[in-house]
Copies of this chain bind each other. A is one copy, B any other.
Amino acid sequence: MEDRIVTACLVIIGNEILSGRTKDANLPWIAARLNALGIELCEVRVVPDVTARIVEAVNEVRARYDHVFTTGGIGPTHDDITADAIARAFGVALLRDPRAVALLQAHYQPGQLNEARLRMANIPEGADLIDNPVSRAPGFRIGNVHVMAGVPAIMQAMFDAVAPTLKGGPVVHSRTVTCGLPEGVLAADLAAVEQRHAGVSIGSYPWFRMGATGVSLVLRGIDGAALDRAAADLAAVIRRLGGEPVMEQRASAR
């Protein structure tokens, strides 16, 4: 663990996300896992299945963040162009990787490992493979970029394979206080509570449910005791304004 904040970016590759046809489910899952590892997800980009756009996005973000994760585009079909794009981004060759070929040979019945499937063994030169216990075709890591599948079950297995190798920093914890007061009534005191508690940031998220309205106030920071003090302070402020604070307990640290 390091003392400084460790950062990450997620690059979601796929026309199906940009067309609205497929709803991405990977962002919140990866965000929660990174948070638990002490890695802050600082940016997400969704880019189309266009080599130049993938190259550009990956090169921009790998220079800026400690860790980069990509999802999508590593299957056997013509629209799976991520491995080629990553090789171009790093200026290395795309090679048929003997380790990946061996994994596929062990997985497929004799005669089933056709050229399309062998494309999944094309890996940028110098990359490490990422294990895929679900369907064998591996992901890979090159530099600080981790290339994973887009199918959630496979992506999750690949992330779990990679997680022990990721360097994290301090873990950000959170407390959530909910109440039925409108944001506009709370706003001035909310800013004051944040000011009073160094290292605690407060996000304010209004909600509208079944005709009722209210706000979820999310306190985040690396010091759990400071978060508890700030949450208690905020609860007192809410009571003073005539509201009823509800402290929400979440199992996962976000």
Q: Which residues of A contact B (CB under 8 A)?
A: 12, 15-24, 27-32, 35, 40-49, 53, 75-80, 112, 114-117, 119, 151, 153, 172, 174, 183-188, 190-191, 194, 201-206, 208, 218, 220, 254
> How far apart sit A49 and B42, CA to CA, in the bound complex (Å)?
10
16 new A-B pairs (CB below 8 Å) besides A78-B194, A78-B204, A79-B201? A18-B44, A19-B31, A19-B172, A21-B218, A42-B53, A43-B45, A45-B46, A75-B183, A76-B184, A77-B191, A79-B202, A116-B187, A117-B184, A119-B187, A151-B206, A151-B208
Please give me the residue from chain B that is nearest to A48 by CB atom. B42
| Residues in B neighbouring A187, C-beta threshold 8 A | 76-78, 114, 116-117, 119
CA distance A30 to B23 in the complex (A): 12
* Residues on B with beta carbons closer than 8 Å to the beta carbon of A46: 27, 43-45
With the chains together, A47 CA to B9 CA distance in Å?
A: 10
Instruction: Decide if A35 touches B19 in the complex (CB within 8 Å).
Output: yes
A17 partner residues in chain B, CB cutoff 8 A: 27, 44
Residues of the B chain whose Cβ atoms lie less than 8 Å from the Cβ of A206: 75, 151
A45 to B76 CA separation, bound complex (whole angstroms): 27
Of the candidates A78, A151, A183, the one having the most CB atoms from chain B within 10 angstroms of its own CB is: A78
A252 to B101, CA, bound (A): 41
Using Cβ atoms and an 8 Å threshold, which residues of chain B touch A112?
Answer: 184
B254 lies within 8 A of A20 (CB): yes
Q: Do B190 and A78 touch (CB < 8 A)?
A: yes
Q: Once the chains bind, are A204 and B20 in contact (CB under 8 Å)?
A: no
- In angstroms, how far is the closest chain B Cβ from the Cβ of A207? 8
Given contacts A42-B48, A203-B79, contact A27 B21 (CB under 8 A): no
